[in-house]
Copies of this chain bind each other. A is one copy, B any other.
Amino acid sequence: MNERTINREVSSIREDITAKRKAATAAVSRRTFVKRVSAIGAGTAVLSRVPTRPTKAQYGPPHADGLPAQQLTAMFTDMVKIRQWESKIKDLILKGGFRGVAHLYVGQEAVAVGVCSALRKDDYIASNHRGHGHLIAKGGDLKLMLAEITHKAAGYCKGYGGSLHITDVNLGILGMNGIVGASHLFAAGAAYGIKVKGTDQVAVSFGGDGSIQGNFFSSAANSAAAWKLPWIGVIENNAFQIWVRASDVYATPDLAQRAAGYGIEGRVVDGNDVLAVYGVAKQAVEKARSGGGPTLIECKTYRWYDHYGVAGARTGGDGAFGLGYRSDRELRDWMAKDPISRFRKFLVSEKVLTEAGADEITAEVRKAVEEAATFAEAQPVPKPEDGLLHVFAQGAVPLHTA
């Protein structure tokens, strides 16, 4: 049985499992649901809309209506996981001697979790350099991720790839990618592949505000539009491309406006409101799954740390201050819109969670994160000569340094 046949088998088994899981979830969803979710979301969900293509839901995320408490709790847990796992990485880097690098995602958790909660396990995501959050939201293992970003042999990529390239094909994670914009093209390609396979999967790409220019985005958008591919492009507009403000290099305030040029529906959403993101994503996913074609979703959000690394950050506290290209006040303003506290408050007021229950989740996550760190720490480093493997599917390349 060759590699490709195996892939196919795996994916058909996966489809089976998913179908069963889906039926189960639908049942739960009808049993316990939160009522006022859609009303709550209404004011915040859609900041502005691209004028060319009206969508049915003018306000609010109707799909959040009917969400089971269980799923809401899972969403909260995932957001906390991202926050805690990344804060641990930050602390480890600040401590010194960290075997790796990181582009921290903290502050943008609502986007990853909102989108991935609208996906099935067998749907695909393609991620970018700021992708730890996407991966955790799609089910990535905290231990294997931590082992990978410290380049240990037990990591997801056996220590070859590190922070920027974590991949788990079994979870439909086509990988983080260090080249800005590539995620969109690969997801659109995967969406084409889904059409060839004839399944009802969808493929989502995550990219920053910087990812809509350059070579890749346009090719993804045009092809997805021309052939109604099940592609969803998620643009996390966190205002910056390193230190360059998006508004200084684009003429339109809403980046989702670019969708119209290709004949794609473009949506703009408050990227710090997980239910709003979920609602828009869910609509897009259902549309894509049923052959209705692509959607471009712009999520307005903010990263709490520097582009890369931990400049301006401190152990035990959130956020990076004193960075030259943004004001501390701007950061504080966004920290006040913390997607996690906001969601927690909502869940408590909705009686989905108690304060104690939320604390317990947080504590449990913290424990899991500590375990992940201990696990990663204990793992051996890769064997030197293994660097010659995995260039091709078979064999090792010759060493030419002797």
A/B interface sample: 9 pairs, CB < 8 A: A213-B218, A213-B219, A222-B249, A222-B251, A226-B248, A226-B250, A250-B263, A260-B261, A261-B262
**A residues neighboring B (CB under 8 Å):** 51-52, 213-215, 217-219, 222, 225-226, 248-252, 257-264
In the complex this chain forms, how many copies of it are found?
A: 2
Inter-chain contact B263/A261, CB cutoff 8 Å? no
Question: Who on chain B is nearest to A225 by CB?
Answer: B251
Contact of A263 among B51, B219, B225, B252 (CB under 8 A): B252
Question: Who on chain B is nearest to A294 by CB?
Answer: B251
Inter-chain contact A257/B258, CB cutoff 8 Å? no
Give the top 10 A-B pairs by smallest Cβ distance, nearest first: A261-B261, A251-B263, A258-B261, A225-B251, A252-B263, A218-B218, A226-B251, A260-B260, A226-B249, A215-B215
Question: Who on chain B is nearest to A264 by CB?
Answer: B251
Q: What residues on B are CB-neighbors of A264 within 8 Å?
A: 251
Pick the most buried of A51, A217, A261, A262: most chain B CB atoms within 10 A of its CB: A261
Q: A225-B251, A226-B250, A258-B261 are in contact. List 17 more A-B contacts (CB 8 A).
A: A52-B52, A52-B260, A215-B215, A222-B250, A222-B251, A225-B252, A226-B248, A226-B249, A226-B251, A250-B263, A251-B264, A252-B261, A257-B260, A257-B263, A258-B262, A260-B260, A260-B261
Give the shortest distance, in Å, between A355 (CB) and chain B (any CB): 46
Q: What residues on B are CB-neighbors of A258 within 8 Å?
A: 261-262
Contact of A52 among B51, B217, B219 (CB under 8 A): B51
Q: What residues on B are CB-neighbors of A217 within 8 Å?
A: 218
A217, B258: Cα distance in complex, Å: 14
Question: Who on chain B is nearest to A293 by CB?
Answer: B251
Question: Who on chain B is nearest to A257 by CB?
Answer: B261
Pick the most buried of A249, A251, A259: most chain B CB atoms within 10 A of its CB: A251
Q: What residues on B are CB-neighbors of A218 within 8 Å?
A: 213, 217-218
Q: What residues on B are CB-neighbors of A222 within 8 Å?
A: 213, 249-251
Question: Who on chain B is nearest to A228 by CB?
Answer: B251
A31, B262: Cα distance in complex, Å: 46
Give the shortest distance, in Å, between A339 (CB) and chain B (any CB): 28
Inter-chain contact A259/B257, CB cutoff 8 Å? no
Inter-chain contact B262/A251, CB cutoff 8 Å? yes
Give the shortest distance, in Å, between A234 (CB) and chain B (any CB): 17
Question: Who on chain B is nearest to A221 by CB?
Answer: B261
Q: What residues on B are CB-neighbors of A262 within 8 Å?
A: 250-252, 258, 261
Give the shortest distance, in Å, between A213 (CB) and chain B (any CB): 5
Q: What residues on B are CB-neighbors of A226 within 8 Å?
A: 248-251
Q: What residues on B are CB-neighbors of A214 within 8 Å?
A: 219
Question: Who on chain B is nearest to A223 by CB?
Answer: B249
Give the shortest distance, in Å, between A17 (CB) and chain B (any CB): 34
Q: What residues on B are CB-neighbors of A51 within 8 Å?
A: 51-52
Q: What residues on B are CB-neighbors of A248 within 8 Å?
A: 226
Q: What residues on B are CB-neighbors of A52 within 8 Å?
A: 51-52, 260
Give the shortest distance, in Å, between A227 (CB) and chain B (any CB): 9
A235, B218: Cα distance in complex, Å: 17
A402, B264: Cα distance in complex, Å: 58
Question: Who on chain B is nearest to A219 by CB?
Answer: B213
Question: Who on chain B is nearest to A217 by CB?
Answer: B218
Q: What residues on B are CB-neighbors of A215 within 8 Å?
A: 215
A261, B262: Cα distance in complex, Å: 8
Give the shortest distance, in Å, between A89 (CB) and chain B (any CB): 34
A219, B217: Cα distance in complex, Å: 11
Q: What residues on B are CB-neighbors of A250 within 8 Å?
A: 222, 225-226, 262-263
Give the shortest distance, in Å, between A331 (CB) and chain B (any CB): 25
